[in-house]
Amino acid sequence: MSAEVFYDDDADLSLIQGRKVAVLGYGSQGHAHALSLRDSGVDVRVGLPEGSKSRAKAEEQGLRVLSPAEASAEADVIMILAPDTAQRTLYTESVEPHLTAGKALFFGHGLNIRYGFITPPADVDVAMVAPKGPGHLVRRQFVDGKGVPCLVAVEQDATGNAFALALAYAAGIGGTRAGAIRTTFKEETETDLFGEQAVLCGGASALVQTGFEVLTEAGYAPEIAYFECLHELKLIVDLMYEGGIARMRYSVSDTAEYGDYSRGPRVVDARTKEEMKKILAEIQSGEFAREWIAEDDAGRPNFTKLREQGAAHPIEETGQKLRSMMSWVDRPITETA
Ligand SMILES: NC(=O)C1=CN([C@@H]2O[C@H](COP(=O)(O)OP(=O)(O)OC[C@H]3O[C@@H](n4cnc5c(N)ncnc54)[C@H](OP(=O)(O)O)[C@@H]3O)[C@@H](O)[C@H]2O)C=CC1
Ligand SMILES: CC[C@](O)(C(C)=O)C(=O)O
Ligand SMILES: [Mg+2]
Ligand SMILES: [Mg+2]
C-alpha cells in the first residue's frame, strides 16, 4: 500500500498562524522549526532552561526565549525538540503542568510516545512532524524556497483537528513544499531507529572504517585509503540520491559496476541481513530504547567510551589533514545554514 502524500495545497497554514507555538529546544531541529515558523507568520516562542548555551543564539536570531515552563504555559501548540533522552523530565517538570484540555503536544521523533516514556492526558492532541533530514538542511531548504519531506502522524486526536494542525505546522517549516507523508508514531520511530543504526549512521560508519583499516593494514597510504573509503562515498551517494542505485551504476565505470554486483554481496551478506533483523527486533521490542534511556540515566558511561574510541580512530586524523587542504569541505560540524 503506497503512502498518502500531502502538499502545500492540502495544508491550511492559517491553522498554525492562528495558534501560539512553543518550540522547546534550539538545536539542529529546534532552530530550523522556530525560525521557519516565524518566517511563515507564526507566533513562536522558544523554551530553553536557564544556562542553556542555545539561549544566546535564539535571541541573536530575533526570537523570544522563555523557560520551557513559561513557553508551555503561554502556548497552545508545544513542540518538543530537546534531545530524546531529556524529553521525559522536560515533559514532567515543565510541560505537563500546563498541558490543559485542547492544547496540542508535538514531537519531531516518536521515541518517547512509542515506548511509553511520556503519556499525555487524553484531552490533548498528540502529533508528530518529523523532517526526513538534518535540521540545518531543513532550514537551508526553507530559506531557498524549497523544503525537506516530512513525516506527519497523529497519536491522539482529542480535538478532531490534530492532523490538519500538524499539516499546517509542516507547511510552516517548508515540509509540504516537498511532500508530507502520513505515518504513525510506531512506523516513524521504528524505521527511523533502524535506518540510523543499520544503514545511515551505524552501517555506513562501520563500512567506511573497516574499508580504511583493510587498506592501511595492507600498507597503502592512509590518505589514499581516506579518499577511496570516505571522501568518494559522498560522490557515489549523491548519484544514488539523484537517480537511485541504477543511476550510480550507470555513471561509474563498467569495471566498478561489475565489482559492485560480484563483490558487494560478499561484504553485506546473509549474516549481515540476519544481524539487521536482530537489530530491528530489538527496536520493535523496546529493548534498544530501554537500554539507551538506562545508559543516559547512568551518566552515559558506555556512550562516552564509544564516542572517544570513534574520535580516536586513525581515519579522523587523516581526514582532518586532508579536509584542511579542501577549503570547500572543511566546515565545522556546528556551522548552521
Ligand atoms: N538532528 C536531526 O536532524 C533530527 C532530529 N530529530 C529529532 O528532533 C529532536 C531534537 O533533536 P536535535 O535537534 O538533534 O537535538 P539537539 O541535540 O541538536 O538540540 C537539542 C536542543 O535542546 C536543548 N535542550 C537540552 N535540554 C533541554 C531541556 N531540558 N529543555 C529544553 N531544551 C533543552 C539544547 O540546549 P543546549 O544548547 O543548552 O544543549 C538544544 O538547544 C529529537 O527528538 C530528535 O530525535 C528528528 C529528525 C532529525
Ligand atoms: C539519520 C539520523 C536521524 O535519524 C536524522 C537526521 O534523521 C537523527 O536522529 O538525527
Ligand atoms: Mg531520521
Ligand atoms: Mg533519528
Q: Distance between CA atoms of 121 and 128, rounded to whole angstroms?
A: 16
Which element (helix H / strand E) includes 46?
A: strand 43-47
Annotated binding-site ranges: 26-29, 52, 54, 135, 192, 196, 228, 232, 253
The burial of 4, by beta-carbon neighbours within 10 Å (0-12 exposed, 13-18 middle, 19 or more buried), is given as exposed
| Annotated binding-site residue numbers for substrate | 253
Order of strands, sheet of 77-80, starting from the edge strand that comes earlier in the sequence: 5-6, 180-183, 150-156, 125-131, 104-107, 77-80, 20-24, 43-47, 64-66
Q: Is 90 exceeded by the pLDDT of residue 1? A: no
Name the pLDDT band for 2 (thresholds 50, 70, 90): confident
Distance (Å, whole) CA 177 – CA 7? 6
The closest alpha carbon to 201, from 137, 107, 312, 279, belongs to 279
Kindly calculate the radius of gyration of the chain based on its CA atoms and give it in whole angstroms: 22
Phi-psi region of 41 (alpha: psi -120 to 50; beta: other; left: phi over 0): left
84 Cβ below 6 A of ligand 1: yes
Q: How far is 62 from 58, CA to CA, in rounded Å?
A: 7
Ligand nearest to the CA of 29: 1
Contact present, 105 and 146 (Cβ < 8 Å): no
pLDDT number for residue 329: 75
Q: Are strands 77-80 and 20-24 parallel, antiparallel or unpaired?
A: parallel
Average pLDDT for residues 237-263, to the nearest whole number?
98
Spot the catalytic one: 31, 109, 136, 313: 109
Compute the average pLDDT of residues 96-116: 98
* 109 is a catalytic site residue: yes
Distance CA(199)–CA(58), nearest Å, equals: 33
The residue whose C-alpha atom lies closest to atom 7 belonging to ligand 2 is 133
Q: Give phi and psi for 147, each to the nearest 5.
A: -160, 165
Q: Which helix (H) or strand (E) holds 78?
A: strand 77-80
pLDDT in tens, 152-162: 999 999 999 99
pTM of the predicted model, to two decimals?
Answer: 0.95
Query: Nearest Cα to 174, choosing from 32, 314, 323, 278?
Result: 32
Predicted local distance difference test score (pLDDT) of residue 110: 98
Which pLDDT tens digit goes with each residue over 16-74? 999 999 999 999 999 999 999 999 999 999 999 999 999 999 999 999 999 999 999 99
Angle between helices 162-172 and 28-39 (to 10 degrees): 90
pLDDT value at position 331?
63
Question: What is the C-alpha to C-alpha distance for residues 273 and 142, in angstroms, rounded to an integer?
Answer: 37
pLDDT score at 328: 75
Report whether 152 contacts 183 (CB < 8 A): yes
- pLDDT category at 337 given cuts 50, 70, 90 is very low
The three cell numbers of residue 266 are 560478499
Quote the CA–CA distance of 140 and 178 in Å, as a whole number: 13
Residue with cell 587523516: 318
Average pLDDT over residues 188-215: 98
The phi and psi torsions of 165 (rounded to 5 degrees) equal -70, -40
What pLDDT does residue 327 have? 78
User: Which atom belonging to ligand 2 lies closest to the Cα atom of 193?
Assistant: 4
For residues 79-96, one letter each, b for 16 or more C-beta atoms within 10 angstroms of the residue's C-beta and e for the rest, the string is bbbbebbebeebbeebbe
**Cα distances (Å, whole numbers) of residue 68 to 81, 90, 116, 120, 223:** 11, 8, 21, 17, 47
Site to substitute for ligand 2 among 148, 200, 237, 288, most atoms within 8 A of C-beta: 200
Instruction: Over range 228-246, report the average pLDDT.
Output: 97
Mean pLDDT of the chain: 96
Residue with the three cell numbers 522547546: 24
Task: Look at residue 335 and tell me whether its pLDDT is greater than 70.
Answer: no
pLDDT-derived band at 330 (thresholds 50, 70, 90) equals low
Is residue 95 within 6 Å of ligand 1 at its C-beta?
Answer: no
Tell how far the Cα of 134 is from the centroid of ligand 3, in angstroms: 8
Residue 336 has a pLDDT of 46
